[in-house]
Chains A and B, each alone.
Chain A
């Protein structure tokens, strides 16, 4: 259920742009940590390198001590890493239930047939989509697509969950539901890396946060302390406010 994540000296360049520069941090098993930073600071790029979507230009990613730096995404997934995407990516050819069954069929346990259908229904119920497995994903509202995205990530039975602004775009009551859902996973002991702009959610969920700016880590530590540091305020709001 829980995994230890170790990242050391991660680097990524896009042409001349250094998107991630020498980023190192660890997540202890069961920790929920916020990864913050202004737009374009490299948060998604870090997640992409952990999940294998992007190759690293340098550095090491370890999960429970296993080096996964050079692994393809499907291998990383089988090592217990699941993610959601910043822009939801439901699979339109599959119905809601099949979207979840895909991750069940190819996750760590490889469930299929009746078991998989039942487990998909369980995952859907957990995110609040009970009984809606046969619907088309195109007919889902935005929050329901976000729920589906979460159900699919959970279906592979991850030890480390990467949430890329999963709570963004929700209204206040939906946000509360979302926060409760993540807290539930936290209680189950899942290790979670949470990229988030909504401070209310970060404060509610994260014991610790890491702040990036222009590809580098500029602060990390307990949320309450880090969010008051001058460099963090400067990165978010500009020089005048520091």
Chain B
């Protein structure tokens, strides 16, 4: 009963958000677009990294590959096919990366994923300079901001649906268990490697698609733009602020932080990275489990 009300409410909000571009200016549609992008990134990131606690900094590797796929293929294929290719490349890359790294634990995984993002960026740069002789590409697709926004909104809705259904399934239980203790999960019958790989692939594919869908917005693309590590860090901070273990956590973190970052990067463009770093430290120290968990514990505390 409660679930069906929540679905009706979520559907209503979604419909409202979808009609928003009709009423608001192009500038605000652009803000909404960026925000939806980050909400999707943070939610997809938390899908894998939340319960498993494998902190991934590879977000921008997948995001950038998605964007580049569109840049390379957009004038030789119909758009839906381009998206399909981007998803396929995302899946393949996630499988290769997952199979080779999900055995790494803790900080080694963090470092590896960060290195991976740099490696992909350098490889793409090298390829463009030495093989295709094109540093930078143009994306000409007949999309306005709101078209991109609608696509992202649909992807966000699908991401929430996936996250919700995993949370209710036995896979969700296994994920939480292996985040606590992989040995115990394995001895209870959980195929730890396979479940981690599955979730990593789902999460990475969504992230790739966010990059692909957003590509037309830039018109001009080069590695330093779409492989900017800030994307990985912002995604991480947003998910952590809201709480990576909860369905709505990343959304709760992403909205205020996106607006704040928009403002900061406009007002203090030179000090943006420092401020980002400070906020990161603050969040990890003050509420390691996120705002929602903090609210919960405050509420429970006041009841006693």
Contacts and interface: CB of A to CB of B under 8 A. Distances in A.
Contacts of B173: 94, 98, 101-102, 105
Interface in B145-203: 170, 173-174, 176-177, 179-181, 183-192
Nearest to A53: B183
A101 B179 CA distance: 16
Contacts, number: 75
A103 B174 CA distance: 9
B98 to A, nearest CB: 17
A53 B170 contact: no
A103 B189 contact: yes
Interface residues of B: mostly helix, strand, loop or mixed?
Answer: helix
A93 B191 contact: no
Contacts of B189: 74, 77-78, 103, 105-108, 156
B184 A89 contact: yes
A: interface residue count bin? 20 to 34
A77 B184 CA distance: 11
A74 B191 contact: yes
A195 interface: no
A22 to B, nearest CB: 26
Nearest to B190: A106
Contacts of B176: 91, 93-94, 98
Contact of B177 (A72, A91, A156): A91
Nearest to B183: A53
A105 B170 contact: yes
A179 to B, nearest CB: 24
30 contacts: A51-B187, A53-B187, A74-B186, A74-B187, A74-B188, A74-B189, A77-B186, A78-B189, A85-B184, A89-B183, A89-B184, A91-B176, A91-B177, A91-B180, A91-B181, A93-B51, A93-B176, A93-B177, A93-B245, A98-B176, A101-B173, A102-B173, A105-B170, A106-B174, A106-B188, A106-B189, A112-B170, A152-B188, A156-B188, A156-B189
Interface of A: 51-53, 72-74, 77-78, 82-83, 85, 89, 91-94, 98, 101-103, 105-108, 110, 112, 152, 155-156
Given A105-B170, A105-B189, 9 more contacts: A52-B186, A52-B187, A73-B186, A78-B189, A89-B181, A101-B173, A102-B188, A103-B188, A108-B189
